[in-house]
């Protein structure tokens, strides 16, 4: 699935990293616990989370996940957006709750990014 389709399906606002929108993504990981992202998430997946702080960007960066979607209308600060731009991370925000985001994306073919 193209990341531009993810944006459209979730009616999301793109805050940084628009250059990634033409890229394909195969899987997603939805979680507010960054410890679990670092433990269980595959790389090259979308990270969906309602947690908004700098450590979310660090977590995605260290885990080689280059796209983040903040759910429940959560908006990162300008400092976070600048940090995301500097790291070339795609960051979006959507009005949908985490459960709805996962359901919409899964129904359209995105798989879970669980390390097995």
Partner 1 sequence: MSYELVFDVKRGDFDTAGEASRKIKRTLQQLGVSNKVIRKVSIAGYEGEMNLAIHSSGGKIILEVGEEELVLTIEDTGPGIANIDLAMTAGWSTAGDEVRQMGFGAGMGLPNMKNNADNFQISSKIGEGTKIVMKFLV
Matching residue, tokens 């090259």 = 44
Tell me how far, at minimum, the Cβ of 45 lies from partner 1, in Å. 12
Residue pair 39/21 in contact by the 8 Å Cβ criterion: no
What is the Cα–Cα distance from 82 to 4, expressed in whole angstroms?
21
**3-class DSSP state of 84:** helix
Residue pair 76/60 in contact by the 8 Å Cβ criterion: no
What is the Cα–Cα distance from 22 to 5, expressed in whole angstroms?
9
Q: Is residue 114 a contact point for partner 1 (CB under 8 A)?
A: no
Q: Is residue 63 a contact point for partner 1 (CB under 8 A)?
A: yes
Matching residue, tokens 């979310």 = 56
Measured from the CB atom, the residue of 39 and 97 that comes closer to partner 1 is 39
Tell me how far, at minimum, the Cβ of 31 lies from partner 1, in Å. 8
Site string for partner 1, 17-46 (x = CB under 8 A): ---------------xxxxxxxx---x---
Measured from the CB atom, the residue of 7 and 47 that comes closer to partner 1 is 47
Q: Is residue 67 a contact point for partner 1 (CB under 8 A)?
A: no
What are the residues binding partner 1 (CB under 8 A)?
32-39, 43, 49, 51, 53-56, 58-59, 61-64, 87
């Amino acid at each position: 699935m193209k990341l531009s389709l993810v944006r459209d399906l979730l009616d999301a606002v793109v805050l940084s990293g628009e250059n990634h929108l033409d890229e394909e993504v195969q899987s997603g990981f939805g979680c507010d616990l960054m410890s679990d992202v670092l433990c269980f998430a595959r790389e090259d997946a979308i990270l969906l989370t309602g947690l908004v702080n700098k450590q979310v960007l660090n977590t995605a960066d260290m885990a080689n996940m280059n796209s983040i979607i903040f759910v429940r209308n959560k908006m990162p600060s300008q400092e976070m957006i600048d940090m995301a731009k500097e790291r070339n991370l795609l960051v979006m925000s959507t009005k949908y709750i985490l459960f709805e985001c996962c359901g919409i994306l899964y129904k359209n073919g995105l798989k879970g990014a669980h390390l097995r």
